[in-house]
Structure 1
Amino acid sequence: MTTFKDFIDTRADSAPKLTIAEIFEILADGDVPFRFTAYDGSEAGRADAPLGLHLKTPRGTTYLATAPGDLGMARAYVSGDLEPIGVHPGDPYEVLKVMEDHLQFRRPSAMTLANITRSLGWDILRPIAPPPQETLPRWRRIAEGLRHSKGRDAEVISHHYDVSNVFYEHVLGPSMTYTCATYEAPDWTLEEAQENKYRLVFDKLRLKEGDRLLDIGCGWGSMVRYAARRGVHVIGATLSQQQAEWAQKAIAEEGLSDLAEVRHSDYRDIAETGFDAVSSIGLTEHIGVQNYPSYFKFVQSKLRDGGLLLNHCITRKDNVRSSKAGDFIDRYVFPDGELIGSGRIITEMQNIGLEVRHEENLREHYALTLKEWCQNLVDNWDACVAEVGEGTARVWGLYMAGSRLGFERNVVQLHQVLAVKLGPKGEADLPLRPWWVA
């Protein structure tokens, strides 16, 4: 009986075996915009190009061949089998940009595919275990527990945020803020821009001394402490135990314990009500689009009449694309993460009775923020690798560099939406014009 392997070998026997570089050129339709080298000694592209990729091992070929697309590329990169040329592994932005602009892979003919298969050999095409940083595929996670249940959300948040507080200190800088900063000028420092972001949120929410703020998904408590320093009573909630411990320690060190508290808690377990304002900075991406109605209903129930909500989150550029993240993001960065356009967010707020008063897109600001985080990772590379291992450091470098490109190219956006809980007769008790400095 003739097997598929026999058929492939027979069809391809007459063709000469291909080198790795020749295979790369075939798949890239002959146009390789940078230098490509491989472990078999073959090369493609421009030998004098300042940027490129080096495929170091057969294992890297297996990753690329068995999971075509961003997942296979990520596996080879995270494992160290695919090395960037001309850039630091903590910031492959320039290589990614060249690939985005000039590299277009094509589907080979059946005969060409047969020759590629014979040239690589069947052993190299057998799937192998992915790098340890990769979590289960979405269908396996769904089989093991209800998506966006409290337990499942706690697990996936821990996957991303309970990496190491020390690692995040190196990458994020003194502000310990893992959300988009707000720049007045491109030459502002990251710390200036993060302080400005908290100032903007604080002002949009019309907070003043003696007010009560609930900060949902508070991270390491930077918004909590910013508001408490100005006399606001704040409760923050995070599903990350490491974040909560770090934040409580920082609150105590600043002498803010009488005003501020960060709880290791699901936001759905917050019992207090009557808040003057709710800030949600970088949480909506995690809760699932189908849960927006219940989420905004929950927020509404926590506000007093006239209270304000500021929702700050990553969105897609439209409201029609699939909300699910790509394979790399879903398995390495934000398991169960979902994005949709700002129109859907505004719609869901309005549908439960919140009145939207203002929204703005800060996507260019996030590109600037990510550039600074990548630079911090590069500057502190040895310390980061010592703390979490090179594979995990590579995950963050690839994720942040790719995200920067996404914000620059309008693949994703960052929207702040300001809404108010109206009184029983539709009263908002707000100024007629914006009251904050942009």
Structure 2
Amino acid sequence: MSTSESVTLPPYTIIEPLGGPLEGSLTVPGDKSISHRAVLFAAMAEGTSHLTGVLDSEDVRASIRAVEALGASVLLDRQADGTLAGTVTGWGQQGPAQPDAPIDCGNSGTTARLLMGIVAPWDIKVTITGDASLQKRPMRRIVAPLAKMGCDFEPETPEHLPITVCGSRELRAIDYTSPMASAQLKTAVLLAGTFAEGTTTVNEPAPSRNHTELMLPEFNVPTTAGTRVASVQGPAEMLASDVVVPGDPSSAAFVAAAALLARGSSVRIENVSLNPARIGFVRTLERMGADIRESYEGAEGKEPRGAITINYTPTLRGCEIPSQHIASVIDEIPVLALVAAHARGITVFHEVGELRVKESDRLAAIIEGLGQLGIDAWEEGDDLYVEGNPNLQVPAGLVFDSHGDHRLAMTWALVGACGRVPVNVTEFTCVAVSYPDFLADLKGLVK
């Protein structure tokens, strides 16, 4: 590492090679998207909901703190498997309380964006803020439809946090055509629409995650959904429900990639969500020739769950991921790009401009990181191209900048863990946002 790097880069963690194939089975942490919604919806409901399998991460704890500040009672305890379980007693028909301070969402975009829809239908004034990274992420996409429904904001047309939401009990139901496929946008509008008179509909240009549409009926909200459209009928009385959270497919994708990259590996990931909107990474890896398959084993509510089995695959090939499938792999693109770096030929991810406004500019970071590996990766418009090298050799002494982004930190950690030389990853502790025990779980699979 050069002197300039040692001065300019944040502290880093040395990721050592695992030293052998990964074998056996494991469970990954509870699904982050479902965990957020379980906590938030239970807080909105009348009565006490029982939740199990909730992800214990910094992002989900941001949602817990937010609903407590708004008057919900949360009694969730850490279990032996590392998840949270317990009860949430919601504010129900009396509505959320006026918080006495701004609500800090930390790094959680899901918390911030969904919270806007949650407080919009009530006569309260709530300031929502977050850390430096979250304050750079776009919020106008949520503000615009909520303003059409009759919610006011301070400043009047905010682009970024902090934002003060001035709620109203007179929200109007709307039929909104979203400019992007975004489960967070869709959910914020549907949650506001739950308390508006009439039918609130969100139309999307491509399918996004549908956890909200699957879960709202469990909380007594009349909901209809199609491939690119979802509606709620309001005003509805949200009632408590019990939620069991399956394992997170996004976390599973990193374990799957590790099994593909570590020679001789064979891993089974158990009790993971098999929601079709969330396992696009499986379909992508199949197209690359990976030995990967899923097996359905039941459902938690309306969420299918089961196992994913992955075997080391010596020969992978590049493929194209069309724009209509990007929403189902958006969080997994960093690690899929790393797998593509080991494949023969070029892999193209179409229309991935959304990566620029994630926890970091993931598009630039992917290209930068793969470049350190000697891999040609570039953007053309909003498309990402990766030209793989099946004989990729990792040079010694690499320092990868995670930019404080958990998905990037885990991706670059795999370079060292599944390779022959250690690598350095800056701010690796940010993996606590979604998968605190990531490295420990990988090490536990080495026989």
- Give TM class, smaller chain: under 0.3
Q: Name the one with the larger helix percent.
A: 1
User: With structure 2 as the length reference, what TM-score do the two structures score?
Assistant: 0.25
Q: Name the one with the larger strand percent.
A: 2
